[in-house]
Chain A
Amino acid sequence: MSHTRYRVMEAGEARRFPPEAMARIEKILTRYPTKQAALLPVLWVAQETWGWISKEAGEEVARVLDLPPSHVDGVLTFYTMYNLRPVGKHLLQVCTSISCHLNGAESLLERCGKRLGIGLEETTADGKFTLVEVECIAGCDRAPSMMVNDQYFEPMDAGKLDALLDRLSREA
């Protein structure tokens, strides 16, 4: 996300990894020399478990990895793909870096926002869509490129975007 990431939002309640997440974490830990080294993948488990990473989720990660919570905050706010606030079911990530920019990313972004009635970093009232602008997602060869959650859609144009949004809206 393009905004400052100084604060990790509070969920207001303590978080504990459910047993299945803990099992995944145990497995991840076997692949790394130290617990600290496993921080990035364990944060992914947290994000997949709760959809976003709250202050409390970060503290839970710190607890299971024996790290200072401040260190987890540092990593969380450094990388932009960890969601530090709740996002909709479909996280629309439109690349606006140079190749996509030259190929019409701005108008895609604008069309997206208009159709959904939201601005950047906002979520639709029904909780289905969140729209964000991202830096290069390595799709330059098929620009303009965008991602929905972890799936690529490229190269995009107005028609494809409309069809995509229609399909996603129809989904439950």
Chain B
Amino acid sequence: MSSTPVAPPPSAPPPAPPPKDTFTVSFDGKAIEVPKNLNLIDAAKLAGVDIPHFCYHPRLSVVGQCRMCLVEIEGMPKIQAACTVPLKDGLSVKTTTDKVKNARAATMEFLLINHPLDCPICDQAGECTLQDNSFGYGNQLSRFDEAKRQYPTFDRTMIGPHVVADMTRCIQCTRCIRFTHEIAGTSELTFLDRGGRTLVWTHEGQPLANDWSGCAADVCPVGALTTREFRFRSRVWYLQKTPSVCPGCNVGCNISIESRDDVVYRFLPRLNPTVNDYWLCDYGRFLSEPLNDRDVHKATVREGSAVREATVPAAVDRIAREIRSSLEGKGPGAVFFLGSAHLSNEENFLLRKIADHVGSPNRDAIVDKSRPRKVKSKTVWVEGDDAGANHQGAKDMGLSPGAGGHGLDAVIAGKASPEVILIADAAFSAIADDPEKVAALRRARFLAVAARNANALTRAADVVLPAASLAEKEGTFTNVQGRVQKFDRAFLPKPPIRAAWEHLLLLALALGFGDRSWTPHDLLRQIAAEVPDYAGIKEEELEGGRLLKKGDFAWAGRP
């Protein structure tokens, strides 16, 4: 080959542009670039154009069943179901023409022929796609005079442990059937009969009882499938939505806590394609009810044989006094700190800082194992088997025995006998209700716990602090994937109840370190500065969860 560079002749065509990985599609005259693998309905959403639909769901197969998504496409003579039209370059979609408006109104009219018009007594009202689409795209008046279809014995019936079916409300979109078939893989649901008599039901003797059955009610656009637990408990428009993380296990599904007047009414899945996608397991979903349980409302302090109510600062001062006197008498080895897989990273971090401050190597955080739970992310199943959301985070924050220190096992086995034990979460394990193990912990001269619910451990303790629930505090959890996820506070705890981090901050101040102004946000900044795996984490970046740079996650398919 010649080494002399040859100048291109002036007429040579410019180099071909690199192939695009997007399509240029226009919606109502507005052109936008969209990823090639999107469905037309989602592409329209990117362009800010709403294409009303019922049967289309981003994670379920496309069936073109409901005909609500009709649009005009330039170059196609007939109106098209948007969900079934493959994207391509130059596609021009019209959603505001008379033809489209009439088609949508006609579809709505057909759907409402057999659908009851009794929204005031239907629990779906307020989050019903049929109601919304009727309001947005339907005709106000009905021309239908005849009697509506009825389904005696197939209305308001439990078809599984959680889901109530009312077939008079079904619009035959098949989302629920596809969910059980394509996501849960259990196929409990099917259509029975045909035509105007079609209904969704189960095979006799095989109820809708898979681990995610509540999701069938989530995907149902109408009130045909609802959950027994939430049904008729609150109008949805009264509910305040707070982004949070499920406390059930270390998968850490993203949830919305739905509350009103400081009562949690339900959890709904919150979309996170890398963790739980659109789904939530039934176990986690229905932890919303126990979240309202509480029997520890006040701080208590034992004096001699009497247990007295005390203010939280006074109770914390007592803990600080006991810690100091043990440190003076026996040295730092006499104090033991137990964190928990239910506490946030910020709380476990602060507990560890307290242990550091007094110089105690005795710290631990254990977790009970649960039945393995799993949930389908967009690409893979994410599995967890911890009975707490944040064991990974507790370990990351340094809650395991330091050099020369001992852990919970040693204390329970009697191999170590600390004088003072501080348990930052009395619900840390089933151990807390095991009389023998509690007796072993009670060998300490002084035992302090924070708790929401009474158990054998709180009854044995010298000081009990009233602790906030998940809904009453904010912070971060680290899930089984090593993903740090933020949860927000739905409402303030009722005084004198406080979050564990507030108790711990009071204790830190009493022991001579920390700053009264610290919040979980400050603690997270400290974590980012001090905990190697969390270096550089920023709260603003935690939307969707940030994955730590670590090797050994419980699953292989990282996105």
Which A residues are closer than 8 A to B by beta carbons?
4-8, 10, 55, 68-74, 77-78
Contacts and interface: CB of A to CB of B under 8 A. Distances in A.
Contacts of B193: 4-6, 77-78
25 contacts: A4-B197, A6-B154, A6-B192, A6-B193, A7-B204, A8-B204, A68-B181, A68-B186, A68-B188, A68-B203, A69-B203, A69-B206, A70-B187, A70-B189, A70-B202, A70-B206, A73-B190, A73-B192, A73-B201, A73-B203, A74-B190, A74-B191, A77-B192, A77-B194, A78-B193
Contacts of B197: 4-6
B70 interface: no
Nearest to A9: B204
B194 A68 contact: no
Interface of B: 154, 181, 186-194, 197, 199, 201-204, 206
Nearest to A8: B204
What does DSSP make chain A's interface, helix, strand, loop or mixed? helix
B192 A55 contact: no
A5 B206 contact: no
B204 A55 contact: yes
Contacts, number: 46
Instruction: Sort A-B residue pairs by CB-CB distance and give the 5 closest, nearest first.
Output: A68-B187, A70-B190, A74-B190, A69-B203, A70-B203
A110 to B, nearest CB: 25
Nearest to A74: B190
A65 to B, nearest CB: 13
A10 B204 CA distance: 9
Contacts of B199: 6
A72 B194 CA distance: 14
B149 to A, nearest CB: 11
Nearest to B208: A70
Nearest to B204: A55
B187 A74 contact: no
B192 A74 contact: yes
Contacts of B154: 6
B187 A71 contact: yes
Residue in B192, B194, B199, B201 whose Cβ sees the most chain A Cβ within 10 Å: B192
Contact of A71 (B190, B194, B201, B204): B190
Residue in A4, A10, A68, A69 whose Cβ sees the most chain B Cβ within 10 Å: A68
Contacts of A7: 204
Given A6-B193, A70-B188, A78-B193, 13 more contacts: A5-B192, A6-B154, A6-B192, A68-B181, A68-B187, A68-B203, A69-B206, A70-B189, A70-B203, A70-B206, A72-B203, A77-B194, A78-B191
A7 B153 CA distance: 11
A6 B201 contact: yes
Contacts of A74: 190-192
